[in-house]
Structure 1
């Protein structure tokens, strides 16, 4: 199943998310397993530090018969690249890592720009433990540099990630090439209906990251030396469980199917072959209107956001911070 982008390109509705799949062994297993199970959409980002490992897998698979045109590859401009003068440089870095001549989709990962230091993959923190940001971003100028990537053939499509409606409107007002995609956190507890409707009205395809609520978030927090959070568990929600039982499906399959029926693409992350296999089995059942309504009733709103980027201290003070400040 595909969603058509404004360029005419077809983006597979189901993709493999790879955030926090950093080790070469994890990536090799996950990407090879996904490709074996007919996944044709792989999502990564510069800041995930795994583009190189993904590139090695892709090179081997292309050499053994998989056609490049049949695989949809997404990567992202990092916060340290959110500056008109650094867009081209980071595109080149990602293409070199992935061993590709082009990516199918290149996204601005986050609307806040951070200071860049040569040789550093991620933003730096100051003595107060706050991320070193730059001033307000000229999103119009930034987007023009993104458009140049399409003109040069290095990106077939361009889009946004973690932008709010106001920020998307700014891009639309300045765009020669409109954003093809908005990638945001989306799941049954954080449904962002107004944002999704706005995008669909403007022919921007919505891709849901953390579509299962990101159960692995606490591992990431511990790596940063931060305290784990009490995270709501979608997969143990009784409403989701009851619907899953009725369809003889897993709770994860129901949670993903809910988003697909809203017209969104989904990129669940997993490095477990069994889960990667299960996550693709979304297209042989349909949720009824009553079941969709029951799942819509689970929406918590902003309080359910898992990836709020506040792990990067002080980021929420920046004028371009896109989420509601709680």
Structure 2
């Protein structure tokens, strides 16, 4: 009796406004401790993930780095096949502090460069994104960062950053799921060539039961899980997604989105679930780390 090897999935690539290609599905590692993140990243890489979305504020960069080193994804050809994102702590925004923080992140991650460095929150009440961006562009010029992005920026923040730096970010990573679709932000990003990346793509699981069973009925019609239905909806919208799971089987399910297509009426039914309540924090008032 032979063991059948587990299927390895390959995800589509999205072309960014700077020409770089990012895998459309990544692994989120928020709220996983530094020890616990090691096997999570290792199982994701084994399943076929080639996009890891981390942050200094998650306090697990060192664990991600140990996983990359253990699997060989921190150097050579394997490193080139991986998209690695990290984010600057809000408390370390500013020019000199951002450069110092990046050195610390790079050391913990055990890599020579990251594919994307992001401003984590706009903190408009203590705005330093312009100065921070100048540090980011220096890192890009040095080849230690490829792509520059932001998280949680509203159109007014994107416009202010553009006024101060002359650049639009390649990506705006925002809370985005069926019951919180942020259509104005998405439309602004699309109009300015900024890719949209969704965190909490299922509202931390809350949207699996949205719409009086709408998601479950669609899932049953296709023989897939409710989570796969929501993630497929994102994929069809062209959104980059970073679902988080610590379970290897669920990690694989979250990549297995290309064996079915939503009917137009099903996609429209999910569109209709949009609501007034976010699951996470307000970018106008929140700061993270």
TM-score computed with the length of structure 2 as normaliser: 0.89
Could you say if the C-alpha distance between residues 65 and 250 of structure 1 is closer, same or farther in structure 2, counting changes exceeding 3 Å?
A: farther
The residue that corresponds to 2:60 in the other structure is 50
**Aligned-pair CA distance for 1:66:** 6.1
The residue that corresponds to 1:38 in the other structure is 48
Residue 197 of structure 2: which of 184, 202, 207 is its match?
207
2: distance between equivalents of 1:154 and 1:173? 25
SS in 2 for 1:214: helix
SS in 1 for 2:126: coil
How many residues of Structure 1 are paired with residues of Structure 2 in the alignment?
A: 273
Are residue 12 (structure 1) and residue 23 (structure 2) matched? Answer: yes
The residue that corresponds to 2:32 in the other structure is 21
CA contact (8 A) 1:28 1:54 kept: yes
Residue 130 of structure 2: which of 127, 140, 148 is its match?
140
**Aligned-pair CA distance for 1:65:** 7.9
2: distance between equivalents of 1:270 and 1:65? 27
2: distance between equivalents of 1:256 and 1:33? 20
Residue 257 of structure 2: which of 268, 278, 282 is its match?
282
**Aligned-pair CA distance for 1:20:** 0.5
Residue 152 of structure 2: which of 162, 165, 168 is its match?
162
CA contact (8 A) 1:186 1:209 kept: yes
Could you say if the C-alpha distance between residues 60 and 177 of structure 1 is closer, same or farther in structure 2, counting changes exceeding 3 Å?
A: farther
2: distance between equivalents of 1:42 and 1:138? 26
The residue that corresponds to 1:87 in the other structure is 98
1: distance between equivalents of 2:150 and 2:245? 23
**Aligned-pair CA distance for 1:309:** 5.5
Greater helix percent: which structure? Answer: 2
1: distance between equivalents of 2:65 and 2:128? 32
Deviations 1:133-178 (A, max 9, x none): xx63143222222211111111100110011110001112233543
1:166-185 equivalences in 2 (<5 Å)? 166-185=156-175
The residue that corresponds to 2:280 in the other structure is 307
SS in 2 for 1:85: helix
CA contact (8 A) 2:55 2:87 kept: yes
Deviations 1:175-225 (A, max 9, x none): 35431110011100100111111111211111100101114xxxxxxxxxx
1:167-316 equivalences in 2 (<5 Å)? 167-215=157-205, 233-237=206-210, 238-301=213-276, 303=277, 305-308=278-281, 316=285
Deviations 1:44-89 (A, max 9, x none): 1001011101101111222798611100000001111122331101
Residue 76 of structure 1: which of 58, 62, 87 is its match?
87
Unaligned runs of 5+ in 1: 114-134, 216-232, 322-326
2: distance between equivalents of 1:46 and 1:248? 38
The residue that corresponds to 1:126 in the other structure is none
CA contact (8 A) 1:147 1:176 kept: no
CA contact (8 A) 1:106 1:155 kept: yes
2: distance between equivalents of 1:298 and 1:176? 36
